[in-house]
A and B are shown apart, each in its own frame.
Chain A
Amino acid sequence: MIGAGGPTVKALDAVSLSVSAGEVVGIAGPSGSGKSTLLHLLAGLDTPTAGAVTIRGTDIAALGNREQTRFRRDNIGMVFQRFHLLPALTARENVALPLVQAGVKRQQRRKRGSDLLAAVGLADRETHRPGALSGGEQQRVAIARALAADPAVVIADEPTGELDRDTGEQVLNLLTEISDDRAVVVASHDEYTLERADRVINLLDGVRQ
């Protein structure tokens, strides 16, 4: 139920979903179907009015705001449609961003950032700022950032929405690769993107079809 002071809208209704490590699950549906709301609930950015969101045995919906944030930091990586990199930081600093709050030492952050950038094929872009990177490169940096804390779940909201087909395919390959030992949930209305998922959940008006 989403209200925020205005008329209350039932964004999701009785949606049940279970995702295992090593699995890529696609969330499909038209705009307004509840895809993003579902992802936000999974990420602990939003709280359901009823029900539970359990990750690694913890019901994050029952956690307080502070605990949710800490849980998100340690267990969930997020990839956004518009990348959402910090423009003043270099690619490596953006990747290592979650490790700052985790209290990881600077040298280790730098190494982790470099390793992850190398893993996504951007070893030569470590010191570049987002403004100097292409859209595809920015999204790869965002994926590397999502992996920084080695999370159990990676949530991607329209990860190819701002990219051309070729670049999008590279990003999808990357998301598939990282699913070896973690769960990946991808929301998209793009058929091509959803084809890469192990299974697809369809939503319409907040209801699973």
Chain B
Amino acid sequence: MSRLTQLVGVIGLGVRRVVGRLRGAAPGRMTVCILGVAVAVALLVVVTGISLGLANSTTVESEDIDYWIVPDEAGAGSVPLQAEGARLSQVHEVTADLRRDDRIDYASPVVLQPLQLRNPATGDQEYVIAVGVIPTDEKRRVADMKISSLDAEYSYYADGDYDGEWSGQFVAAPSVAERLSLAPGETITVSNADRSLTLTEINDREMSAGVGEVPAIAMPLAELQSLTGLDRADQADQILVSTTDPTVESELAGIYPRTDVVSRAGIGGVDATPTNLPLAMALAATLVAGGIGVAFVATMMGLELTAGRRELAVLSAVGFSGRARALVVVSETVTVAVLGGILGVGLGALATVGVNAGVASAIGIPSLATITPALIGYALAAAVAVGVCAAPYPLYLASRTNTLEELTR
């Protein structure tokens, strides 16, 4: 005989009584109580999952989905700065086919190549990452770089060959313009190439990558290919596809063998949600779900206890102390909350799938809410907290139970 055995036995009695009622002794009120907690916890899981999605995802700031076709050895985590390794070929032809698809808003091969630039007027030199894209009139960014100031006529490749008029246009990140002492309209040269480039616009921010900011310029794809020798097989590192229709994704995967299709909204990894909105949402969800859960469990367990006061009196008659009877009541309340929590996590997971499917079909974001092991643990911990917070009311009712009165009624 030990206190621990006694404690485990008393807590186990509470659990057994709940399970026994659910298995047929008196399932009605207990089932309703568990369902109530389950709904509250499911709400918590979904809203917190959305909050996590908002906090972690780069997809939600844009109505567009950007897919990146990348050679599979490039990996999904290196999209912004993958400049070496396997490349995609015949990219202009493939991109032209993609652009004919009505579901696709914009498509462009992307080349990322290091270039050494020199300002002949000042002698300043700078190594930069050059981002080659097919220009467009639309206000778009690729790798954080605005490309709308580049001539959309794309004259150097206008007839499908690399022999058109050299535009030499480029957009520079602020740091590049500063280090080369460049202003819009001024010209620089590319080391080891007989070509000059003219600055059309200074970008409003630096290109960011996982490791920090990168000195970068954006320029017409074909001209960068020509400067770097990638024009021989019409090669690019990746192909960017912007769409509002997630059904495109499966088709993109089949264009090239051994490629991955990566989904994200911005190549530069711009913070999607700079505010504390996700935290506020998660907090609000916890408070609302917790409040609903506590009120529901306290009320239903109070009713359950009122109907079963005689059973508490029997416990007293067979030698259960007041403290042990209170522990039985707390154990039952927490057990109900935990069972509701487990069911709620399941319901929440289903609801998360539903929310994501609905959001994907409505506004094209493939994954808004997320569910993680940590979130499941959080939800179960919240369920336990609901049980503990709801316990005082049934405990109060239990303390008012008159053993003799109940046994002789």
State whether the Cβ of B2 lies closer than 8 Å to any Cβ in chain A: yes
Contact: A73 with B26, CB < 8 Å? no
- Which range holds the interface residue count of chain A? 35 or more
Indicate if the CB atoms of A66 and B322 lie closer than 8 Å.
yes
Within 8 A of B (CB), among A66-100: 66, 69-70, 72-74, 78, 80, 84-90, 93, 97-100
List B1-52 residues whose CB lies under 8 Å from chain A.
Answer: 1-3, 5-6, 9-10, 12-13, 16-21, 24-26
Does A196 reach chain B (CB closer than 8 Å)?
A: no
Q: How far is the CB of B340 from chain A (nearest CB, A)?
A: 18
Q: Does B190 contact A (CB under 8 A)?
A: no
Contact A78 B318 (CB under 8 A): yes
A residues in contact with B321, CB < 8 Å: 66, 69-70, 101
- Taking CB atoms, residues of chain B closer than 8 Å to A98 are 318-319
Distance in angstroms from A93 CB to nearest chain B CB is: 7
By the criterion CB–CB under 8 Å, are A72 and B26 in contact? Answer: no
CB of A103 within 8 A of CB of B6, answer yes
Instruction: Mark each residue of chain A from 90 to 126: 1 if its CB lies under 8 Å from any CB of chain B, else 0.
Output: 1001000111111111100100000000000000000
Q: B6 — which chain A residues lie within 8 A by C-beta?
A: 100-103
- Give complex CA distance A98, B311 in Å: 13
Query: Which of the 9-residue segments B221-229, B257-265, B400-408 touches chain A?
Result: B400-408
CB neighbours (8 Å) of B9 from chain A are 99-101, 103-104, 106, 109
Instruction: Report whether B20 and A45 are in contact in the complex, using a CB–CB cutoff of 8 Å.
Output: no
B314 within 8 A of A: yes
Within the assembled complex, what's the spacing in Å between the Cα atoms of A84 and B407? Answer: 8
Q: Is A140 an interface residue (CB 8 A)?
A: no
Q: Does A202 contact B (CB under 8 A)?
A: no
The secondary-structure label for the interface of chain A is helix
The answer to whether B17 touches A88 (Cβ under 8 A) is: yes
Q: Which of B290-326 contact A (CB under 8 A)?
A: 310-311, 313-322, 324
A40 vs B404: C-alpha distance when bound (angstroms) = 8
Q: Which of A36, A43, A86 counts the most chain B CB atoms within 10 A?
A: A86
The closest CB in chain A to the CB of B319 belongs to: A73
Question: Which chain B residues lie closer than 8 Å to A103 at the CB level?
Answer: 1-3, 5-6, 9
**A72 contacts across to B, CB distance below 8 A:** 317-319
CB distance from A48 to the nearest CB of B (A): 13
Shortest B313–chain A CB gap in Å is 8
**A162 at the A/B interface (Cβ < 8 Å)?**
no
A205 at the interface (CB under 8 A from B): no
A145's nearest neighbour on chain B, judged by CB, is B318
Residue pair B310, A129 in contact (C-beta under 8 Å): no
Residues of A with C-beta under 8 A to B403: 45
Complex contact A89–B20 (CB within 8 A): yes
Q: Which residue of B lies closest to A130 (CB)?
A: B25
A45 to B316, CA, bound (A): 9
Q: How far is the CB of B175 from chain A (nearest CB, A)?
A: 71
B316–A69 contact, CB under 8 A? yes
B101 CB, nearest partner CB in chain A, Å: 63
Neighbouring B residues of A87 by C-beta, 8 Å: 20-21, 25-26, 311
Whether the pair B16, A93 counts as a contact (CB closer than 8 A) is yes
| Docked complex Cα distance between A86 and B378 (Å) | 34
B residues in contact with A106, CB < 8 Å = 5, 9, 12
Q: B3, B21, B407: which contacts A88 (Cβ < 8 A)?
A: B21
* CA of A102 to CA of B320, assembled, Å: 9
Cβ–Cβ contact A104 & B25, under 8 A = no
A65 to B9, CA, bound (A): 22
CA distance A176 to B317 in the complex (A): 22
Is A88 a contact of B26 with CB atoms below 8 Å? yes
> Would you call A51 an interface residue if the criterion is a C-beta within 8 Å of the partner chain's C-beta atoms?
no
Q: At the interface, yes or no: A46 with Cβ under 8 Å from chain B?
A: yes
Given A86-B17, A103-B3, A129-B24, A36 and B317 contact (CB-CB distance below 8 Å) = no
Is A100's CB under 8 angstroms from B10's CB?
yes
Inter-chain CA distance A78–B322, complex, in Å, is 18
B309–chain A nearest beta-carbon distance, Å? 12
A131 within 8 A of B: yes
CB closest residue in chain B, given A69: B321
Q: Is the CB of A86 within 8 A of B320?
A: no
3 tightest CB-CB pairs across the interface, nearest first?
A73-B319, A88-B20, A103-B6
Listed by A's residue number, 29 A-B pairs whose Cβ atoms lie within 8 Å are A40-B404, A46-B404, A69-B322, A73-B318, A73-B320, A78-B318, A84-B310, A87-B311, A88-B18, A88-B19, A88-B21, A88-B25, A88-B26, A97-B315, A97-B318, A100-B6, A100-B320, A101-B6, A101-B319, A101-B324, A102-B1, A102-B6, A103-B2, A103-B3, A103-B5, A104-B5, A104-B9, A105-B5, A106-B5
Interface residues of B (CB under 8 A from A): 1-3, 5-6, 9-10, 12-13, 16-21, 24-26, 310-311, 313-322, 324, 403-404, 407-408
Q: A73-B320, A88-B19, A103-B9 are in contact. List 18 more A-B contacts (CB 8 A).
A: A43-B317, A45-B403, A45-B404, A72-B318, A73-B319, A78-B317, A80-B317, A84-B317, A86-B314, A87-B21, A88-B20, A93-B16, A99-B9, A100-B9, A100-B320, A131-B24, A131-B25, A149-B319
